[in-house]
């Protein structure tokens, strides 16, 4: 079966500035796997930008359930990227994952916007999704909120593989660590100087989902996505919210 028959379904919020969320996911797919069939399901509408605290309104759970079923009804292997999910919707997403059994699911456990405010997500519902996903990609703040420890040899087993973004690294270096069962893989590299563009979490998780849909194993998919994003962030430009956005 070729990658063209695979469906990648991205579920996430609409950030009208285009910095993060589904618009960033679509941009990422166009760069990383334009041959894939793709569907997008809006989980929430958000208002953010210009330093104002973010606000969000999640879809009603029943509506989201219907949208997920509609978008995933075609046959063929299904790959899923989950972004912003409001607290009320995690249960219907969990039920849908159990019913539809995607081949791989990448969860970006979005909790906050970098401008502050609330996006309506809660750690508890996201944790309930862990046993149903192939990879979760929390940053340091999200790891803390989700009660996930920092990666270390011999750490207690996790319910799913974890890509811990921004773990401790030596001066001038950055490191993300994949924890898959007992195995730790460190993606340690030179720090890219400059301001952090918006939406890097969305872009990374989507780039990983693209690589998985193209047949890569989890560690290779993470390595490919991290290398691509390190390069893409150099080309960031100021977006409509006055913050750096990924571009090419
Ligand atoms: N808005 C949406 C819809 C998101 O999915 C995310 C993060 O994934 C954010 C905002 C936060 O983005 P940032 O951290 O760049 O502000």
Give me ligand 1 centre to Cα 75, in Å.
31
CA–chain centroid gap for 121, Å, is: 14
pLDDT at 220 over 70: yes
pLDDT tens for 184-196 read 999 999 998 888 9
| Per-residue b or e along 212-224, where b marks 16 or more CB atoms closer than 10 Å to that residue's CB | bbbebebeebbbb
CA–chain centroid gap for 23, Å, is: 13
DSSP for the chain, written as a single string: --GGG-EEEEEEEE-TTSSSHHHHHHHHHHHH-TTSEEEEEEEEEEEEETTEEEEEEEPPHHHHHHHHHHHT-SSS-EEEEE----GGGHHHHHHHHHHH--SEEEE------TT-B--S--HHHHHHHGGG-SEE---HHHHHHTTPPPP-TTPPPPSS-EEEEEE---TTEEEEEEEETTEEEEEEEEPPPSPPPBTHHHHHHHHHHHHHHTT--HHHHHHHHHHHHHHHGGG-EE-TTSSEE---
Residue 245 beta carbon below 6 angstroms from any ligand 1 atom: no
pTM, rounded to two decimals: 0.96
Residue located nearest, by CA, to atom 9 of ligand 1: 113
Instruction: Tokens for 89, please give them.
Output: 């919707």
Name the average pLDDT for the chain. Answer: 95
Give me ligand 1 centre to Cα 148, in Å.
20
- Work out which ligand 1 atom sits closest to the CA atom of 112: 11
- Work out which ligand 1 atom sits closest to the CA atom of 199: 15
Residue located nearest, by CA, to atom 2 of ligand 1: 21
Residue 19 beta carbon below 6 angstroms from any ligand 1 atom: yes
Mean pLDDT of the 13-17 span:
95
For residues 105 and 97, is the Cβ–Cβ distance under 8 A?
A: yes
pLDDT at 81 over 90: yes
Residue 49 beta carbon below 6 angstroms from any ligand 1 atom: no
- Work out which ligand 1 atom sits closest to the CA atom of 14: 3
Give me ligand 1 centre to Cα 141, in Å.
14
Given pLDDT bands bounded at 50, 70 and 90, which one contains residue 234? very high
- C-alpha to C-alpha distances, 176 to 44, 51, 74, nearest whole angstrom: 28, 28, 35
Nearest to 11 by CA among 57, 68, 56: 68
Residue 125 beta carbon below 6 angstroms from any ligand 1 atom: no
Given pLDDT bands bounded at 50, 70 and 90, which one contains residue 51? confident
Give me ligand 1 centre to Cα 230, in Å.
18
């Amino acid at each position: 079966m070729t990658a063209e028959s695979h469906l990648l379904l991205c579920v996430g919020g609409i950030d009208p500035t285009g910095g993060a969320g589904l618009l960033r996911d679509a941009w990422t797919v166009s760069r990383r796997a334009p041959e894939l069939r793709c569907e997008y399901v809006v989980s929430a509408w958000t208002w953010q930008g210009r330093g104002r605290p973010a606000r969000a309104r999640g879809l009603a759970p029943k509506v989201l359930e219907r949208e997920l079923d509609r978008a995933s009804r075609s046959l063929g292997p299904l790959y899923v990227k989950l972004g912003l999910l409001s607290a009320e919707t995690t249960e219907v997403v969990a039920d849908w994952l159990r019913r539809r059994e995607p081949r791989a699911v990448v969860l970006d456990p979005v909790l906050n916007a970098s401008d502050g405010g609330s996006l309506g997500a809660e750690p508890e519902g996201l944790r309930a999704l862990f046993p149903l996903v192939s990879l979760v990609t929390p940053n340091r703040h999200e790891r803390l909120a989700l009660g996930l420890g920092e990666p270390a040899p011999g750490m207690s087993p996790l319910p799913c593989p974890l890509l811990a973004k921004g773990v401790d690294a030596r001066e001038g270096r950055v490191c993300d660590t994949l924890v898959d069962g007992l195995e730790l893989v460190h993606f340690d590299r030179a720090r890219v100087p400059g301001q952090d563009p918006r939406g890097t979490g969305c872009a990374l998780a989507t780039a990983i989902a693209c690589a998985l849909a193209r047949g890569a194993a989890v560690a290779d998919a993470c390595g490919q996505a991290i290398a691509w994003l390190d390069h893409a962030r150099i080309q960031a430009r100021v977006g409509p919210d006055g913050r750096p956005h990924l571009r090419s």
